[in-house]
């Protein structure tokens, strides 16, 4: 081999080092760090690099710099970030492992004779409105001797003002509170309430806090000055820069340093909290086109932000224990399906929850009204819309499995707005506002028109909530509205004309099979709602209509060869992913005949591409949530697991380094580049949300409410194995962990050959 070519190869290997650490359950496309709300969403975006190999980023890709150092026996090491700003750059600690669970991301790095463990915890607190509404995450750092001997250890972290805005020219101001805790508060000098620019909020504050303990020092100042101070002196100066300026003007950073003393066994954790807080949080349209300011729910329990932060900090031990228990439950349940499925679920929970904010209003006296609680969701990346109905529908399995109350809280803003009579259309609204956090409705009726789609979604989601909770209040309060949408579906769902469905990007199409069946299931859902409401006559009528429509639909939607459903009536060459059949199983309505599920399962096995079954015959792309929904409707374990494995293969192939992109190409396994960090990944929990014992096409005489405690055991999944168990074969998740080790070995071999040739 010519020497220039060998030199080029050596340079390429040096410029693109392969990962040499273990990753569990797999090397994710991006690793969540502080992911708690639409505006607290910081990620490690390039997991092929260690956490000290690139800056942390907001989900859009703008930098949210978070730097860490360790000082071990007088020698500094870089733990986090990539400071290259004039500061002295110490050697990087060596990343040893990464572990991702539903609520936590943990990195272990070796800094000489000491191992540093950094755990990023973004709590998920089902059923706890106060804790779930606190827009804060934790970073906990511990140190352990790796040679059994004591070593002197000091730690440093800072955040930059980039956490406040993606526009580095904006001027920021800051304050410091010193008491039992030390808190840095940073905000824009010129704020604009309820404005979101570039997906970054234009008002409110970022808070960075640590407990005020012996051995703590602190400093605000220029990045290179503060970081060099620690790298050279291993201590900060306890000085506070008060020269407010633009984010990029001498890059102000907000730093803490801790002296842990001599460390042998694992040290007590140094716990930091990071949060993004604004008040009010949401502007919401109410009757007579008036608007209402709504605050995050936690404010009802605290008189000041300092009290809220103190509570959050003091709650770390409990939060950590609850998170571990929740992680274990989710992993156990998902692993009963497959290791690949458990890996996908682990990556999905924080991303989905972080799109939601739980809010509360004030009464006429200015007191918080704890009986008026609503949740608002930012669609994220595909648009800035609020409580987009089909996105809520896609996310539904997450909450049915973990937190059914969130279904109601998310539906209430939509139901209450339409109950005021301000929305002029007879079908369900598409969303509650075009630009988060302004939920101003669509009194002109000119929202994106998805009449069958959203009307069916609202009915399905409403029934699913009532079945899981036995809370009938939502039916009592909004029965007439639900019935109005049912009347629309009766008249339009079998022949939806040229309507759009949830997959708007694919374009409109006349008489879409998958759209029509959603509306029919919606009518059946209203039959069940009427039964719950005690209206037996209406229930019987709607049930008969749904049964008649499904029979007609089967004839119209089945290809002449009886081997698959068509994408659109009468076109035997067309087909699509019939993911809306999932609602029939979820609600246990048993409306769709068993042979449809069996036919589709066989079909999916024959048309799958390398990374899954494409959305339909028009394009080779798919949405990962719909792929998993369709997998949940299959009648054999082999087909189900193959579809799950295909999504996992896409997620783990390293081609799309971004917060999980749900829209991707099933042929080349790359993200389309537009749908990232969206809450729809909550749909990956579709198998966990199914009621116990549910099966496709049960053909029961009527549906019965599923287990009110949430989804049934995945082992009761509506599938049966058509071949011997594959448990003896290594999962894709396991193979992914092995791949990194092989890459290292291969690179070492290649480098050895290169060097040997050159020598």
- Express each pLDDT in 517-564 by its tens digit: 999 999 999 999 999 999 999 999 999 999 999 999 999 999 999 999
Does the residue 504 lie in any domain? yes
- Judged against a pLDDT cut of 90, whether residue 745 lies above it is answered with no
Band of pLDDT at residue 731, cut at 50, 70 and 90: low
Least confident of 23-27, 57-61, 535-539, 741-745: 741-745
User: Does 466 lie in the same domain as 544?
Assistant: yes
Q: What pLDDT was estimated at residue 84?
A: 82
User: Does 343 lie in the same domain as 253?
Assistant: no
**What's the average model confidence in pLDDT over 171-175?**
99
Band of pLDDT at residue 582, cut at 50, 70 and 90: very high
Band of pLDDT at residue 440, cut at 50, 70 and 90: very high
HEC profile for 498-519? CCCCCCHHHCCCCCEHHHHHHH
Q: What pLDDT was estimated at residue 448?
A: 97
Q: How far is CA 193 from CA 162, 283, 378, 386, 445, in A?
A: 19, 10, 17, 17, 26
Q: What pLDDT was estimated at residue 693?
A: 80
User: Does 479 lie in the same domain as 446?
Assistant: yes
Q: What pLDDT was estimated at residue 755?
A: 34
- Judged against a pLDDT cut of 90, whether residue 695 lies above it is answered with no
User: Does 408 lie in the same domain as 273?
Assistant: no
- For 621, the domain range is 336-727
User: Does 239 lie in the same domain as 357?
Assistant: no
Q: How far is residue 630's CA from residue 624's CA, in Å, rounded to a whole number? A: 10
Find the CATH number of the domain harbouring 284.
2.70.98
Band of pLDDT at residue 580, cut at 50, 70 and 90: very high
User: Does 187 lie in the same domain as 124?
Assistant: yes
- Judged against a pLDDT cut of 60, whether residue 342 lies above it is answered with yes
User: Does 384 lie in the same domain as 276?
Assistant: no
Q: What pLDDT was estimated at residue 737?
A: 43
Report CA torsion sign: 415, 418, 419, 425. Answer: negative
User: Does 222 lie in the same domain as 96?
Assistant: yes
Does the residue 472 lie in any domain? yes
- Judged against a pLDDT cut of 90, whether residue 741 lies above it is answered with no
Q: How far is CA 304 from CA 65, 279, 659, in A?
A: 27, 12, 33
Provide the 8-state DSSP code for 49: S
Band of pLDDT at residue 141, cut at 50, 70 and 90: very high
- Domain final residue pick, 281, 313, 345: 313
Q: What pLDDT was estimated at residue 319?
A: 99
Domain count across the chain:
2
Q: How far is residue 339's CA from residue 337's CA, in Å, rounded to a whole number? A: 7
Q: How far is residue 503's CA from residue 626's CA, in Å, rounded to a whole number? A: 10
Q: What pLDDT was estimated at residue 733?
A: 54
Q: What pLDDT was estimated at residue 746?
A: 40
Q: What pLDDT was estimated at residue 744?
A: 38
User: Does 106 lie in the same domain as 168?
Assistant: yes
Does the residue 413 lie in any domain? yes
- Judged against a pLDDT cut of 90, whether residue 258 lies above it is answered with yes
Q: What pLDDT was estimated at residue 276?
A: 99
Tokens of 219: 């400093």
User: Does 353 lie in the same domain as 306?
Assistant: no
Provide the 8-state DSSP code for 177: E
Q: How far is residue 78's CA from residue 67's CA, in Å, rounded to a whole number? A: 8
Note whether 44 and 61 are within 8 A (CB): no
Does the residue 64 lie in any domain? yes
**What's the average model confidence in pLDDT over 619-648?**
98
Q: Which residues pair with 174 in a beta bridge?
A: 186
Does the residue 392 lie in any domain? yes
- The answer for residues whose C-beta is within 8 angstroms of residue 192's C-beta and 6 or more apart is 202, 203
Q: What is the mean pLDDT of the chain?
A: 91
User: Does 271 lie in the same domain as 356?
Assistant: no
Does the residue 387 lie in any domain? yes
Note whether 355 and 679 are within 8 A (CB): yes
- Percent above pLDDT 90 for the chain: 86
Q: How far is CA 97 from CA 24, 80, 335, 746, in A?
A: 8, 14, 21, 20
User: Cβ-count burial of 591 within 10 angstroms (0-12 exposed, 13-18 middle, 19+ buried)?
Assistant: buried
- Judged against a pLDDT cut of 60, whether residue 17 lies above it is answered with no
Find the CATH number of the domain harbouring 483.
1.50.10.10
Q: What pLDDT was estimated at residue 6?
A: 40
Does the residue 17 lie in any domain? no
- β-strands 196-197, 245-246: how paired? unpaired
HEC profile for 52-95? CCCCCEECCCCECCEEEEEEECCEEEEEECCCCCCCCCCCECEE
What is residue 447's three-state secondary structure?
Answer: coil
Q: What pLDDT was estimated at residue 89?
A: 86
Q: What pLDDT was estimated at residue 724?
A: 30
Band of pLDDT at residue 433, cut at 50, 70 and 90: very high
**pTM (2 decimals)?**
0.92
Q: What pLDDT was estimated at residue 87?
A: 65
**What's the average model confidence in pLDDT over 451-466?**
99
User: Does 395 lie in the same domain as 284?
Assistant: no
Tokens of 184: 């840095």
Tokens of 600: 């589709």
- Judged against a pLDDT cut of 70, whether residue 97 lies above it is answered with yes
- Judged against a pLDDT cut of 50, whether residue 205 lies above it is answered with yes
**pLDDT, greater one: 16 or 640:** 640
Band of pLDDT at residue 86, cut at 50, 70 and 90: low
Does the residue 3 lie in any domain? no
């Amino acid at each position: 081999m010519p020497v220039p070519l060998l030199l080029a190869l050596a340079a390429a290997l040096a410029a693109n080092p392969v990962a040499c650490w273990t990753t569990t359950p797999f090397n994710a496309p991006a690793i969540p760090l502080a992911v708690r709300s639409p505006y607290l969403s910081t990620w490690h975006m390039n997991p092929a690099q260690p956490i000290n190999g690139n800056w942390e980023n907001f989900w859009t890709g703008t930098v949210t710099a978070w730097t860490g150092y360790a000082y071990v026996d007088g020698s500094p090491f870089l733990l986090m970030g990539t400071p290259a700003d004039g500061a002295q750059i110490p050697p990087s600690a060596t990343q040893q492992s990464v572990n991702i669970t539903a609520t936590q991301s943990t990195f272990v790095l070796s800094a000489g004779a000491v191992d540093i463990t950094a755990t990023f915890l973004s709590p998920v607190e089902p059923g706890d409105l106060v804790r779930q509404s606190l827009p804060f995450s934790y970073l906990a750092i511990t140190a352990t001797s790796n040679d059994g001997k004591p070593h002197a250890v000091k730690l440093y972290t800072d955040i930059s003002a980039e956490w406040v805005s993606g526009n580095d020219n904006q001027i920021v101001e800051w304050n410091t509170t010193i008491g039992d805790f030390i808190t840095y508060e940073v905000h824009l000098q010129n704020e604009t309430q309820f404005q979101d620019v570039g997906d970054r909020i234009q008002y409110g504050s970022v808070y960075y806090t640590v407990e005020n303990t012996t051995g703590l020092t602190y400093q605000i100042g220029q990045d290179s000055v503060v970081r060099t101070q620690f790298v050279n002196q291993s201590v900060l100066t306890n000085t506070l820069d008060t020269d407010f300026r633009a984010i990029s003007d001498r890059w102000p950073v907000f730093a803490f340093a801790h002296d842990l003393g001599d460390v042998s066994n694992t040290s007590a954790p140094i716990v930091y909290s990071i949060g993004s807080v604004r008040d009010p949080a949401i502007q919401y349209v109410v009757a007579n086109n008036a608007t209402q300011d709504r605050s995050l729910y936690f404010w009802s329990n605290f008189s000041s932000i300092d009290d809220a932060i103190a509570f959050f900090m003091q709650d770390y031990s409990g939060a950590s224990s609850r998170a571990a228990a929740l992680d274990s439950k989710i992993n156990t349940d998902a692993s009963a399906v497959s290791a690949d499925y458990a890996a996908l679920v682990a990556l999905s929970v924080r991303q989905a929850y972080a799109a939601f904010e739980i809010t509360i209003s004030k009464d006429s006296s200015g007191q918080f009204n704890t009986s008026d609680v609503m949740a608002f969701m930012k669609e994220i990346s595909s648009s800035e819309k609020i409580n987009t109905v089909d996105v809520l529908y896609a996310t539904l399995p997450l909450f049915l499995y973990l937190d059914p109350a969130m279904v109601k809280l998310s539906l209430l803003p939509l139901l209450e707005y339409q109950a005021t009579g301000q929305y002029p259309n007879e079908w369900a609204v598409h969303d509650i506002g075009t630009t988060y956090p302004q939920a101003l409705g669509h009194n002109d009726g000119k929202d994106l028109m998805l009449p069958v789609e959203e009307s069916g979604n609202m009915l399905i989601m409403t029934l699913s909530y009532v079945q899981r909770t036995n809370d009938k209040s939502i039916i009592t309060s909004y029965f007439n509205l639900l019935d109005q949408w049912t009347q629309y579906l009766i008249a339009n769902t079998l022949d939806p004309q040229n309507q759009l469905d949830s997959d708007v990007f694919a374009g409109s199409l006349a008489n879409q099979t998958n759209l029509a069946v959603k509306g029919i299931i919606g009518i059946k859902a209203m039959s069940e709602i009427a039964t719950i409401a005690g209206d037996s006559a209406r229930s019987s009528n709607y049930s008969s209509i749904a049964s008649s429509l499904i029979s007609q639909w089967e004839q119209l939607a089945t290809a002449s060869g009886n081997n698959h459903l068509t994408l659109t009536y009468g076109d035997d060459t067309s087909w699509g992913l019939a993911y809306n059949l999932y609602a029939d199983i979820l609600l246990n309505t048993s409306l769709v005949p068993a042979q449809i599920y069996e036919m589709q399962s066989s079909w999916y096995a024959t048309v799958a591409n390398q990374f899954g079954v494409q959305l339909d015959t028009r394009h080779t792309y798919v949405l990962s949530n719909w792929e998993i929904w369709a997998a949940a409707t299959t009648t054999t374990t082999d087909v189900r697991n193959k579809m799950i494995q295909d999504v996992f293969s896409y997620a783990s192939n390293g081609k799309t380094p971004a917060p999980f992109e749900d829209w991707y190409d099933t042929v080349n396994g790359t993200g389309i580049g537009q749908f990232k960090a969206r809450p729809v990944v909550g749909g990956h929990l579709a198998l966990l949300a199914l009621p116990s014992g549910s099966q496709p096409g049960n053909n029961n005489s009527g549906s019965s409410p599923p287990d009110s405690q949430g989804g049934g055991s995945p082992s009761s999944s509506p599938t049966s194995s058509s071949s011997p168990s594959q448990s003896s074969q290594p999962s894709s998740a396991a193979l992914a962990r092995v791949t990194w080790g092989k890459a290292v070995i291969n690179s070492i071999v290649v480098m050895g050959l290169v060097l040997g040739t050159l020598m």
